Structure 1
Amino acid sequence: MRKYKGYLIDLDGTMYRGKEKIPAAKRFIEKLQKNDIPFLFVTNNSTQEPQAVVKNLADNFDIHVTTDNVYTTALATADYLASLDENKKAVYAIGEFGLKKALTNKGFYFEEQHPDYVVVGLDYDVTYHKFELATLAIKRGATFIGTNADTNLPNERGLVPGAGSIIALVECATQQKATYIGKPEAIIMKKALNRLKLKKNEVIMVGDNYMTDITAGINLGIDTLLVYTGVSTPEQVKEKEIKPTYEIESLDNWTLSDD
Structure 2
Amino acid sequence: MSSSADGRSEGPQGAAASLLNGLRVLEAFRVDDPTLGVTDVAQRVGLHKSTVSRILSGLAEAGYVHRDQSTGRYRLGLGVISLAGPLLAELDVRRLAQGELEKLTKVTAETSALSVWNGMEAVVVEQIPSPQFVKHTAYIGTRYDRYESSSVRLFLAHLAAENVKSLLGSKQISRDPAEVLNDDVAAHLAQVRDDGFAINDGYTDAQEFGISAPVYDYAGALVGCVTLSAPRARIGQSDVPRLLTEVQHCVERISDGFGAHARSVDADIRSHAERGR
TM-score greater than 0.5 by the shorter chain: no
TM-score by length of 2: 0.28
Bigger CA radius of gyration: 2
More RCO (CA 8 Å, sep 6+): 1
